[in-house]
A and B are shown apart, each in its own frame.
Chain A
């Protein structure tokens, strides 16, 4: 029995309740958010030593049917995601405090409560021991983030939020529900396997059904942003920027890819996936998303939209890596959960800071702004490096592993995809910083009075950007978890 697991769940839940109860005392409310986020980080950090010793923490909370239960487990793979979610929550809490107060946004209590509840769901997903528990928290995340997307409560907000909830709950019901039930019928259990190779299906299982189940799982977790079910993501960009930052670069989308890869590795297993030849076709399928989303990003002038499509593209790296079914591929995919998270949250934070200071949303309006906001655009530049995969940024580790993984799998075509995508990444990210620092402001625009965003926003930006470089230089802390997954 290990109670740090339940503590990790109860902290964000308790934070939600604390926030709701202190709605009319903003300072107490924000203090509760910050303290719970820090405590969560400490709790998750406290699990690290035992996980590194190869221990797996487990805790059964409720048993529904034989083989169906609400059970938590912390192993190497869950640590990757739990660590990202909890550390970025801490940073995002401070950032959103600055953002929401600077813009005098309405309904901040609801906002903070939903925020904490979404983290509750994300942590639950990270620590799920079976498909049912994962599905439960996956759906909690879908429902609890609706208020965040619809936050502005205007026509645009409601439309974006409707699309969001229709895509996410619709696919979960349409594909995941039958998949989970059929897996239960075929195997008698929904528990994940104890390693990433064997899977849970008995030998001799009907391969048509398994292939169908696999496809259902791939599309059922639509939070993973695989085309053509990615439309909810750009639509959800109507949310306030801290939401876009934490949820749509980290918590929500990473819940999607985490669930997808968790299912690929611990339900189907690499053995069965190679046997039925499911891996390489998946890699090719998501390659389309990688390239197409990058091309769309290239055409977007709205900075947040560009970032959104970049997210769609980058998420597929993670799935591609795992789908290669080679050790470096899986490691590269899983480590990209971390690398992408820190870099993308930096980029969104920067977009939010630019908006708070100048009310500008378009890339074409940013000419010359860099000299007025050097820290913001410096951070933006560093985070761009991860997206492109330039050393020493963290993204380089991903690209390196993915390339070796593709070589191991003898997939020269995939290598070409990765190279093309790198060029596209550079093409849509570098001009942003270039124009900001080196282009002349448009006629009549003067940035003399423009200053950096408030410190509550600037400090999280700098920290997130710094981390995205540090984990590139010292990748071992996170890589050891990824290595433990592949064994």
Chain B
């Protein structure tokens, strides 16, 4: 065997300025988006916080009034309805869309024929904007030319389906529409989770004599528990931001029965010129989000630590 020269010509050591440029490039590239996030998230949050404590009306002013805006906000019946609606809607919407999404995911996971078609159909509502969803469903709910009129036209002349016409039931129309819109999304996430479960687990459960429902309850669903949490958190922040769906579906009515915090904030700030109180309402929405997201992120941190400990 002949010996070969194994030394490969190496580039001359990089000059210090090149090295410095090399370390700078990632920072330079990220800087604009970091700055934008910082300004839009933190600066504007703090500004809103300040406005909520000010006497701003049509234009931002900086006369400090303490918690006056919050007091007047909570004294307002419409705001109380909006905040109640938010919790009512969030509860039903999240539980409903997760339950339906999970059911659909489990059904599709049975290796049904034409799986891709079903998946697309169920996921499709998510591709439709809230405005379109709201408009279409407002037609469906409309007693004069919606579902009620259609069924009556078939001959059931006593049939009544007018959720949006009644101030006690209108919120449920919003909830049903919301569930329709996002259960496909929940399904997609759950399906991905179900597909990530080791098929051997199912086989082992089969040999262990567990029924299908027991296999799901005890083996598969506990395994994908983190996905439940992820879906819930995503849905909650959807729910808290709800604006366009309601704007298109019921316009907050009848009366003020389907007012949501986001609609209320918009009204105060841009329609009535009460920027101070509007900012206070916005801060309350932020508080609602924080109540949900803080425990979640704390849990994530805790879990990462726990995993780090166990290797």
Are A and B part of the same complex?
no
B residues apposed to A, CB below 8 Å = none
A residues apposed to B, CB below 8 Å = none
